[in-house]
Structure 1
């Protein structure tokens, strides 16, 4: 036990000894409790039991601690001791004892709000709802100065009740005497929503707002309910009326702008952005969400202006701002500016992605070694971050044409994280690129042992077999399973078309590959489709598909290999 806890226990014990009704000699009765046995030293007993209780808690023996404090509470009937005994009994999960102690506490201090709140919490934890309701009613009635706040906390106090319909009924009964209070209707709305009665919840929030028309929190809750029950357009209109009546409602206006963007009502949304920025020109809590919303709307000019402005404020997460500015610079073909921003990302969720993007920019500038060194110097605080860095380095090496080095990087990481799904998948694909399909199979089979429903692993293994023209029935089964898991994936659809082609089922292969190409005009899908068309003697169609794809993707290896094969 620490000196701090010993001191606290002694302070409490000495306070009891000096309290009115407890004599230092130890032979007088403890307040209105039982008399001490003849010859007993009450001083020593009080100190002893106080220390026993606290020592027991420190040692993890909650039951012994509860016994010591409960005995002392009954002997002394001191409110501070009874309160501590109640807390310890609750900590020991002796809820029946704790409830009895709370009742004793209220007997000694009938007006104690803390005692009544403790009793209500304990009755909730033990599920004694019939006893709970009158206690809560008394708690509300006896504290009129804090009635509104107590009504708002009702649902939080009762959140452990599993039967939400029973909870709703109790809240309705408790709030019934306070129908003129908006907080009562808000409490009823919360309980109704928890019970799945959203229509009732909406009606109660409406009533709360009738009684308190400027209540922003209630307006926001009503908006959520309206969006689910009546649709986002109706919710936006209703919130717009609220904002018109309460132009200073900052959070409501921001929520309204989000709703309007979701509804593609961009002009109306911009009006609210401009008002927010006018009213709060230097407030990071406004600038940041507005910047994100205008970027979502495609307004990169305003988004950049607000992000750059944010860097001049006391916004705490400057790293995130630099990350988004780096993205904007990359999209606008300004790699040097993007690199400068990415290198200023020093922490947070965007740290590893920013370093990966910075490395890609260095690679594009012909600085492959510097890019790899940057990743090596990047700190990884968790195993997941180390995996992200490994994957980024492997991608870097692949793009530099160093596929063998990429595989070595992944294989080295697998030595310490042998069952990491991302490492297994990337190592498998990289092994195939260096001509080692047997290693691909080993990694993918292990991945499928760990995650049997990994659609991409099923597809990769099936496609590898089909592309090598071996075990085609197995390949077909694997790809079918993958497609059942991801039916709209164009690449898995392409794999199915390719295995059908290998099986000689040309009409079926053509139909499937045409579907895949409609889903995504990818150059490798075009190569497969062109080959099937060529095999079906539709050579003009094959040439057209291949030429169109080559115009969009002139450097794609698979596409160029197919063109060379069919049109030498």
Structure 2
């Protein structure tokens, strides 16, 4: 019963009828007036054989035997020369990746049905798949000529159609050949520009884009493409061209948005803000506009506008709501609205900010005295990558340190290192934590291991050099380590502080003072202030030392290193 239903469906699909087609090549059809039983029987037999062969092909495809399916359909197509059978046979051969066969079938299809757009499209697709661009031009040219009402769109589609082809120069040559007859159309020049850009022929791409804009000055896509090409050579040129376009076309939202973003990349924030204000006015509910406006406002310290736009984003169809909740949580946390911040962090459920949000939520729980709950939260957070799992471990160790449980913090890190012994982040954090629990020898082991993996790890070099300096041992080695670190990051005030401190330990007071003053000018850190105050005191500049220490204590009353220096010199 099922076979009959399938046969009937195939018969209907292929258009088979008792008196219609289906004769092999060269076989004469029966005359309409000739109704002898033998002729009718022959026609029925041919129909049955045709349907049977089609069934064989379809059942073979269902069983995954693409070769048998293609063989059956190819034989049937060559015998019947029916356009529908040829279409199916071409499709099946392409599915079986028998591209040579599929191309031969498509040629036969075009012989039988020379005006078939579908046949020509199939052949063009097969030529692309077979990387036979030299044969493709006539087919695509014919397709373009056949569909004049859609010529512009079809020209624009050329590069997408050829995107998989790896020889971009050959594609450029083909697109030039196809588009050249239509050089009075802006789409033709845009297609040539795209092909040139894909082939890294940027000068030609820019030239063709300019031609497309001469023919259609208000074409926003072309203006954006031109700016993108110009940015590679001169961002200022791109800014100028987009500014000119936007002035002439004030409603060009995408061009204005691109201009604003380009201005941000050049750190021209005030100019960017003016364009964003216009974009918000014209597109008050567009997430693509609201999000960069919010980010720019936050970057400029305008938290009121930033918060307003972020909260507005939550009412739109903006896809990444988790990121919005993360930034709102940060704003609330900075304003000591811990409960509101925690609620936002709980709503960060996916995305790049997920681990950071969970870590910040754990910090809030710690501040509320809920250390165990904070740890449980981190344990119940699943990191999707090794880097995320490392961040969770570091967050847990930080929570334990801030709770004053330094031994527990080290245990967490040490346990993680048994599974990831060469993890640079874990090694560095374990080293610093080991020193906090009074085990500098363990710090040295971890940092030397880290430096064996990453010899140019500036912070590890500095930490080891500073540890030796603090213990007042192997000072030449300490200075060598810190010198190397400073060579890697010469503007780092904390490494400058280490250098000043090791110079002081070696009795080189003028050099130490100069280095520490430079570090303190860059960053008024309490520990740098403590070291600078001590050097000034030892150089008998006690008033300067007293001033530095008192100012730093007022700004950082709880710093242990600074308080130690104050107790030592200002009892």
Shift of 1:177: 0.9
Pick closer, same or farther for the CA change 1:94–1:497 going to 2, 3 Å. farther
1:35 maps to: none
The normalised TM-score by structure 1 is: 0.80
Pick closer, same or farther for the CA change 1:143–1:363 going to 2, 3 Å. same
Within 5 Å, give how 1:522-561 maps onto structure 2.
Answer: 522-528=525-531, 546-561=549-564
CA deviation string 1:333-387 (max 9, x = no partner): 4434433433343443333322322332343344444444443454555554443
**Separation (CA, whole Å) in 2 of partners of 1:299 and 1:31:** 84
- Which stretch of structure 1 is more off in the superposition, 125-134 or 403-412? 125-134
Within 5 Å, give how 1:329-348 maps onto structure 2.
Answer: 329-348=332-351
CA deviation string 1:165-211 (max 9, x = no partner): 44333322221111121111111221232233333333322322232
**Separation (CA, whole Å) in 1 of partners of 2:125 and 2:548:** 71
2:283 maps to: 280
1:397 maps to: 400
CA deviation string 1:473-529 (max 9, x = no partner): 765665555555545444445445555666777776666555544544433344455
* Contact 1:20/1:31 (8 A) holds in 2: no
The yes-or-no answer on 1:251 pairing with 2:254 is yes
**Separation (CA, whole Å) in 2 of partners of 1:508 and 1:107:** 91
1:139 maps to: 143
Candidates 209, 215, 223, aligned match of 2:213: 209
Pick closer, same or farther for the CA change 1:274–1:542 going to 2, 3 Å. closer
Shift of 1:405: 1.8
* Contact 2:260/2:275 (8 A) holds in 1: yes
- Which stretch of structure 1 is more off in the superposition, 125-134 or 481-490? 481-490
Shift of 1:544: 5.6
**Separation (CA, whole Å) in 1 of partners of 2:479 and 2:382:** 43
SS in 2 for 1:148: helix
Candidates 332, 337, 353, aligned match of 2:356: 353
Pick closer, same or farther for the CA change 1:203–1:480 going to 2, 3 Å. same
The yes-or-no answer on 1:436 pairing with 2:433 is no
* Contact 1:323/1:354 (8 A) holds in 2: yes
Could you tell me which runs of 5 or more consecutive residues in structure 1 were left unpaired when the two chains were aligned.
Answer: 33-37
SS in 1 for 2:63: helix
Within 5 Å, give how 1:290-329 maps onto structure 2.
Answer: 290-329=293-332
Within 5 Å, give how 1:64-463 maps onto structure 2.
Answer: 70=74, 73-79=77-83, 82-83=86-87, 85-87=89-91, 89-90=93-94, 94-232=98-236, 234-261=237-264, 269-378=272-381, 380=383, 383-447=386-450, 451=454, 454-463=457-466
* Contact 2:355/2:388 (8 A) holds in 1: yes
CA deviation string 1:295-325 (max 9, x = no partner): 3343322222222333344544433333222
Could you tell me which runs of 5 or more consecutive residues in structure 2 were left unpaired when the two chains were aligned.
Answer: 28-44
* Contact 1:117/1:139 (8 A) holds in 2: yes
Candidates 16, 19, 34, aligned match of 2:16: 19
* Contact 2:263/2:269 (8 A) holds in 1: yes
CA deviation string 1:121-153 (max 9, x = no partner): 443444433223333322322222221111112
Shift of 1:7: 12
**Separation (CA, whole Å) in 2 of partners of 1:223 and 1:101:** 45
Pick closer, same or farther for the CA change 1:85–1:328 going to 2, 3 Å. same
- Which of 1 and 2 has greater Rg? 2
**Separation (CA, whole Å) in 1 of partners of 2:460 and 2:89:** 59
Pick closer, same or farther for the CA change 1:216–1:45 going to 2, 3 Å. same
**Separation (CA, whole Å) in 2 of partners of 1:368 and 1:144:** 72
CA deviation string 1:388-419 (max 9, x = no partner): 33222221221222211222233344455555
- Which stretch of structure 1 is more off in the superposition, 246-255 or 501-510? 501-510
Q: CA RMSD in A?
A: 4.4
* Contact 2:127/2:135 (8 A) holds in 1: yes
* Contact 1:82/1:105 (8 A) holds in 2: yes
**Separation (CA, whole Å) in 1 of partners of 2:5 and 2:400:** 62
**Separation (CA, whole Å) in 1 of partners of 2:502 and 2:492:** 16
**Separation (CA, whole Å) in 2 of partners of 1:452 and 1:441:** 14
* Contact 1:9/1:54 (8 A) holds in 2: no
Within 5 Å, give how 1:465-484 maps onto structure 2.
Answer: 465-468=468-471, 479=482, 482-483=485-486
* Contact 2:431/2:444 (8 A) holds in 1: yes
